[in-house]
């Protein structure tokens, strides 16, 4: 089997505009959740909080011609992809471009463009739309933009499976590399879902927290939406070694499952199945895993269900592992969530620091593991998994390991 390594990483979210800044904020336990800047007070019932990308001006990253083509979810994907490609040093001339894939996860697509267009149509009763509306909001836009900017002519597409989209994208990219279809992939996830329409729809489900995100804590009151992107360059070990690239870590396994149950309620059996598959795929035993970056949304049902699933998979070792949810800092970025959270799993392996679950108040008997409450902890990590579990019962897990 072809071994797959990660040679580049980029990110932008509420915690920073590049991967090192995001990782530093995670280790410091910095909270990116706050009042929403571009929605008027009183338009939302939950107090109007989210984890927005702040102090961001697209003009600092794109010229006017490019910006006209981009919804924010494509902007974020390009910013993160550009960073990952620069770090990797990979080039796409000639055959290399045809032997590289672009696979990006997103759950919502171009919500900012869509929201603006519908406001003009239904709110302002204007009959004319911007002629680039479709190419801005279509789900495949970020994959197309990354491929065009970098001259990548191999397979390029978007995976949409709600909150599991990024991790499903990793699985698809890894399978293509292992099969020999491609030698490398630019892969990750992106989301820009902080719009009035999206937030009002989430409010209607009664799962948004009115105060902040407190995963696994007693007194947690729901999730907080976030936005941003994280992108990676993954390639065969042989390709990286031939280029003399610096290897960040090894992507050893992915696991996917479907609950085939309730459209919204999570299943510990389905979640456990995806974790077990990721371990088998990566040749890992449960005892090999030192850290779990949990899905950890902060809802009562999700966190207790995920805890039961971890017990199912890891048995007694579950009490020896460290587990945390970085959604407490960067919010729930839906389709970009798994990609952003892989920053934490990789950082834990690279630096030996477990980012905390912040905003934690006190233990919940239904969540009885070590969630690294409030303060980061030092621990040598050789292998980690990152969980993503989506509405619709769609589960995807990524396993990474220190490069031997």
Contact indicator for 402, 382 with CB cutoff of 8 Å: yes
Contact status, residue 160 vs residue 106, Cβ threshold 8 Å = yes
Query: DSSP secondary structure string, 63-96?
Result: -HHHHTT--HHHHHHHHHHHHHHHHHT----THH
332 is catalytic: yes
The residues, ordered by sequence, that sit 6+ positions from 67 with a Cβ below 8 Å of its Cβ are 58, 59, 75
CA distance 189 to 211: 27
CB 232 within 8 A of CB 82: no
Phi, psi (5° rounding) for residue 394?
Answer: -105, 120
* Residue of 17, 150, 168, 295 with catalytic role: 295
Q: Which of these is catalytic: 13, 31, 163, 193?
A: 163
Cα distances from 267 to residues 5, 234, 303, 393, 395, in angstroms, run: 31, 31, 11, 7, 10
Count the neighbouring beta carbons within 10 Å of the beta carbon of residue 30.
16
163 is annotated as an active-site residue? yes
Query: Which residue in 17, 150, 168, 332 is the catalytic one?
Result: 332
> What are the two backbone dihedrals, phi and then psi, of residue 157, each rounded to the nearest 5 degrees?
-165, 170
What distance lies between CA 296 and its chain's CA centroid?
A: 13
Radius of gyration of the chain (CA): 20
The count of C-alpha atoms lying within 13 angstroms of the C-alpha of 335, restricted to the half-sphere facing its C-beta, is 30
Structure tokens at 220: 């947690």
For residue 8, give the 3-state DSSP assignment: strand
Catalytic center residues: 163, 295, 332
């Amino acid at each position: 089997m072809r071994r797959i390594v990660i040679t580049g990483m980029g990110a932008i979210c509420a915690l920073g505009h590049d991967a090192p800044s995001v990782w530093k904020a995670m280790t410091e336990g910095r909270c990116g959740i706050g009042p929403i800047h571009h929605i008027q007070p009183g338009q939302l019932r939950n107090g109007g909080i989210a984890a927005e990308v702040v102090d961001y001006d697209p003009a600092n990253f794109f010229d006017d011609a490019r910006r006209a083509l981009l919804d924010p979810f494509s902007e974020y994907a390009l910013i993160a992809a550009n960073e990952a490609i620069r770090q990797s040093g990979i080039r796409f001339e000639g055959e290399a471009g045809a032997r590289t894939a672009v696979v990006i996860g997103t759950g919502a697509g171009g919500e900012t463009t869509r929201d603006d267009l519908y406001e003009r149509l239904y709110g302002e009763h204007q009959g004319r739309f911007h002629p680039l509306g479709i190419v801005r909001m279509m789900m495949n836009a970020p994959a197309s933009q990354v491929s065009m900017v970098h001259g990548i002519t191999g397979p390029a597409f978007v995976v949409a499976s709600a909150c599991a989209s990024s991790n499903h994208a990793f699985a698809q990219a890894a399978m293509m590399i292992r099969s020999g279809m491609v030698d490398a992939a630019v892969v990750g996830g992106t989301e820009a879902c902080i719009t009035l329409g999206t937030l009002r729809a989430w409010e209607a489900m009664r799962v948004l927290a009115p105060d902040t995100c407190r995963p696994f804590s007693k007194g947690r009151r729901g999730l907080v939406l976030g936005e941003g992107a994280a992108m990676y360059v993954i390639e065969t070990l042989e390709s990286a070694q031939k280029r003399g690239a610096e290897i960040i870590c090894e992507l050893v396994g992915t696991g996917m499952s479907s609950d085939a149950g309730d459209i919204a309620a999570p299943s510990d059996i389905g979640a456990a199945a995806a974790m077990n598959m990721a371990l088998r795929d990566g040749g890992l035993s449960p005892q090999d895993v030192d850290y779990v970056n949990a899905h950890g949304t902060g809802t009562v049902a999700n966190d207790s269900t995920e805890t039961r699933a971890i017990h199912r998979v890891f048995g007694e070792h579950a009490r020896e592992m460290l587990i945390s949810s970085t959604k407490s800092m960067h919010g729930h970025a839906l389709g970009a969530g798994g990609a952003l959270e892989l920053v934490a799993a990789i950082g834990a392996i690279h630096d030996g620091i477990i980012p905390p679950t912040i905003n934690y108040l006190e233990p919940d008997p239904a969540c009885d593991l070590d969630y690294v409450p409030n303060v980061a902890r030092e621990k040598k990590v050789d292998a980690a998994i990152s969980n993503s579990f989506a509405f619709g019962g769609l589960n995807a897990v990524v396993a990474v390991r220190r490069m031997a």
